[in-house]
Amino acid sequence: MSTTGATADPLAALGALPGVAESVESVRKAVDRVYGHRIMRRRSNEITSEAALRAARGSAALSGADWALEEVRRRTDFSGDEARAVGAALRLTAEAGQLLSIWRQSPLRVLARLHLVAAADKADQVGRPRQEGEAVDEPLVELPLPGAEEAHGRLDGLAALVMAGGSAPALVTAAVVHGELLALRPFTTHNGLVARAAERIVLINSGLDPKSACPAEVGHAELGRAAYLAALDGYVSGTPQGMAAWIAHCGRAVELGARESTAVCEALQRGAA
């Protein structure tokens, strides 16, 4: 995404694209339904914990480790390639809530911390953007890879947008943060996991989903990797239609996450009856 141009608030301009306002409103209604559920009002900590587990499972699935929920729930050993992705996703969902107060002041610091948490076994490559000539291990995202200098510049631009705030809806900001990190792949590994964790942080920090009860990662996984990558192509194209389609895709993912947590609320309610 270009962060320059005539408009002083490019994120707000994206919010005015055709169809985006409808996506924003639909997401708000879906989130409100979860927060209005009587079980959510009484047992929100349980809903949040379950949402975090399901979010981690969904994010790991999009990174190639598509495990059943119960396998994620019971596993304690996360050695091995697929298991490491699941373990990283679990660590990131836990860490995201600890970084909310830092995000608006220093998003780059938060992103570095997320990468450190996800990729703790990568020695000197963890917790910093990649350098020129360093390879990126992100096999499920096959877009052209920007050079390190371009990635650094665009990462700085993204951070400036986050710190500036503005009037853009939370969904728009979350989608742009998510899409830009996937497009740039600023780290040598785990960019998808970090991008989805950053989307989570924006949705929580904005007040749209303050208890993190509507896991977008669940929706992204449910919509499928092919649809995810097709929507990402639209983001990378930079066209109004492509950007709007990516934002709508992210909105649909949040709605599906809200639906998942509503089902959890209903199950708990039946158990309490």
Element (H, E) at 229: helix 225-237
Model's pTM, two decimal places? 0.94
Per-residue pLDDT of the chain (273 residues; tens, 9 = 90+): 644 344 568 899 999 999 999 999 999 999 999 999 999 989 999 999 999 999 999 999 999 999 999 999 998 888 877 889 999 999 999 999 999 999 999 999 999 999 999 997 666 778 899 999 999 999 889 999 999 999 999 999 999 999 998 899 999 999 999 999 999 999 999 999 999 999 999 999 999 999 999 999 999 999 999 999 999 999 999 999 999 999 999 999 999 999 999 999 999 998 764
The percent of the chain in helix, strand and coil, each rounded to the nearest 5, is 70, 0, 30
Signed CA dihedral, 86, 137, 187, 213: sign only: negative
Give the C-alpha separation, 194 to 182, whole Å.
Answer: 9
Cα 186 vs. chain centroid, distance in angstroms?
Answer: 15
Give the C-alpha separation, 175 to 241, whole Å.
Answer: 14
Residue 28: per-residue pLDDT: 97
C-alpha distance from residue 263 to each of 98, 141, 157 (Å): 27, 31, 39
Give the C-alpha separation, 173 to 168, whole Å.
Answer: 7
165 and 104 Cβ atoms separated by less than 8 Å: yes
